[in-house]
Structure 1
């Protein structure tokens, strides 16, 4: 059962997949999620013979349909990392076989890391860089029919992580937030400084 959440920073309605997971802090305007235990989004490219779960689509999402055209969607993500793969995520969603997530995630070596996953039938998982903190800035931009992921440690200087297409045959691509704890008993993720603008990103490589 889903629930509609009032988040003024989104200029469109957003719906939570898991009732009771998401809340908005009235003083700071941050959106806070308590990720349920054993939750994730992943479709293993190794298939049924892989040692990992083949398909997991249980992460707690907060998604909505943005207006048509280019946009930039960003926020600061803070995670109280407890277990491997705990993460706060910017999420793109077309359907259960076509989605992408931009993660601030705890790596197997217990280091906070920028990770991206693009799923077109199966998931293409890639690590970017380690962050020496429990807070980072993430941004997803739509440029014509492409998407770009940028990350920043200060909210000013951005580093390009990934450029990709999702699925042109699916008209509605929803965007929003996700919280996950694949191997643990849950974690708390804080999303603040949430910003959505229809301004086109002009410099792909340096993110300006």
Structure 2
């Protein structure tokens, strides 16, 4: 059974997460299945990026966000219907429009599904990690006090460290889900096996 799309202002609840979530802005369409799944379709020209040269910015990608308390670990199996370059499914941290970070499963210009991370502190950076030979991958975000860690996994068991970082207002950051299609007509990302653990990650490097 699918939960029908609601108005953007109405709080949204996903069973694995202890906090309510909100859209800002809403997607082209979305649905929440039973248990721990979420489908997001982002419309055309949607992105989150503030160019390091300061020449362009886009804050148009839909984002479903909630603010947990204390240390936590959030993970999901992410499947993306890749079509255009930079289509992506995203786990997102969001403090405000000039302080946020995203862990993406993104189609590269070489047409390879790739793990990409962006950390924004006024301006964004952009870092590619590794290519994935599949249309799905596991992504994970962990909070450790005022710091955060991004990990990715091709099997949901062995995790690779992608980024370890902090940014201003990190203590107030929300966590959530996004999709983007900067160069295409739309992109659909499916988040399954969503998990939340209210604990501190034991080992940043090994991901345990």
TM-score (norm 1): 0.92
Q: Is the 8 A contact 1:158 1:206 kept in 2?
A: yes
- The residue number in structure 1 matching 2:64 is 62
Deviation at 1:144, TM superposition (A): 1.5
Q: Is the 8 A contact 1:113 1:128 kept in 2?
A: yes
The whole-number CA distance in structure 2 between the counterparts of 1:3 and 1:36 is 21
The whole-number CA distance in structure 2 between the counterparts of 1:22 and 1:102 is 20
- The residue number in structure 2 matching 1:51 is none
- The residue number in structure 2 matching 1:195 is 195
- The residue number in structure 2 matching 1:23 is 31
The whole-number CA distance in structure 1 between the counterparts of 2:17 and 2:91 is 13
Q: Which runs of 5+ in 1 are unaligned?
A: 49-53
- The residue number in structure 2 matching 1:172 is 172
Deviation at 1:5, TM superposition (A): 2.0
Q: Is the 8 A contact 1:141 1:201 kept in 2?
A: yes
Deviation at 1:2, TM superposition (A): 3.8
Secondary structure, in 3 states, of the residue corresponding to 2:11? strand
Residues 37-70 of structure 1 deviation map (CA, whole Å, 9 limit, x = unaligned): 110000001122xxxxx11000011001111x21
The whole-number CA distance in structure 2 between the counterparts of 1:4 and 1:35 is 19
Q: Is the 8 A contact 2:145 2:171 kept in 1?
A: no
1:160 aligns to 2:168 (yes or no):
no
Q: Which runs of 5+ in 2 are unaligned?
A: 1-7
Q: How many equivalent residue pairs?
A: 200
Q: Is the 8 A contact 2:146 2:171 kept in 1?
A: no
Residues 137-174 of structure 1 deviation map (CA, whole Å, 9 limit, x = unaligned): 00010112110001000000000011000214x64210
Secondary structure, in 3 states, of the residue corresponding to 2:84? coil
Q: Which moved more, 1:2-11 or 1:152-161?
A: 2-11
Moved over 6 A (4+): none
